[in-house]
A and B are shown apart, each in its own frame.
Chain A
Amino acid sequence: SYELTQPPSVSVSPGQTASITCSGDKLGDKYTCWYQQKAGQSPVIVIYQDTKRPSGIPERFSGSNSGNTATLIITGTQALDEADYYCQAWDSTSPQVFGGGTKLTVL
């Protein structure tokens, strides 16, 4: 079955840029999306179709996807961005696959 790999944790200082990677075989050939999950809350989509932001998501969130790696980038990271982030490789056939999640800490 298809697998996605994320780093368990990423740390960033306030105002700096955070990059969270998601790796999978030929991931660039699939659409990738990213979800933010704050403690005790349901996931919220922050990036879809590799690079697009839903309405209401701040411009500091961006994404890329090429080769075997997709990346979520948060520029000017704020304390309120501290959360778990999950990538998902969209598949037109089931099952849908999530990465293991990355805990973003804003120090």
Chain B
Amino acid sequence: EEQLVDSGGGLVQPGGSLRLSCAASGFTFRSYWMNWVRQAPGKGLEWVANIKEDGTETYYVDSVKGRFTISRDNTKNSLYLQMNSLSNEDTAVYYCVRARWELRAFDIWGQGTMVTVSS
């Protein structure tokens, strides 16, 4: 079964840091662009960042540029999101998501991990 399992969320103070992880299984991880998408409580979906199959290209939504870093380790079938200088506005469920270019869609989503930024 193709699966993504998100982890690493928790409670962090404003200005703090957190590193999210996503473990992929059941498919050839190194063959896909990967994404992080977040959803603030009671709000809609917001794309956060993505990374090319080999990690050579990364892109971010403007609100996280310079604070968040997406990375991957294809030897460990894992995706990461390093989040620094966190603010209350970053409070959300963060989903690891696989992109299928041939479908022009996100076809597999992790279960999500909650990040709460609060003092």
Check B105–A43 contact: CB distance below 8 A: no
The main secondary structure of chain B at its interface with chain A is strand
* Interface hit among B9-17, B72-80, B106-114: B106-114
Given contacts A42-B110, A42-B111, contact A98 B46 (CB under 8 A): yes
Which of the listed residues A42, A93, A100 has the most CB atoms from chain B within 10 Å of its own CB?
A: A42
Contact (A96, B50) CB under 8 Å given A42-B112, A86-B44, A101-B45: yes
CB distance from A98 to the nearest CB of B (A): 4
Main secondary structure of the interface of A (DSSP, over half): strand
Q: Considering only CB atoms and an 8 Å cut-off, how many residues of chain B contact the other chain?
A: 20
Contact status B46-A48, CB under 8 Å: no
- B91 is an interface residue with CB less than 8 A from chain A: no
For residue B35, CB closer than 8 A to chain A, the reply is yes
Residues of chain A within 8 A of B104, CB atoms compared: 31, 33, 48-49, 90
Which of B44, B59, B110, B111 is the one whose CB lies under 8 Å from A95?
A: B59
List B residues at the A interface (Cβ < 8 Å): 35, 44-47, 50, 59-62, 95, 103-107, 109-112
Closest 8 interchain pairs by CB? Answer: A94-B59, A90-B104, A31-B104, A48-B105, A33-B105, A42-B109, A96-B47, A101-B44
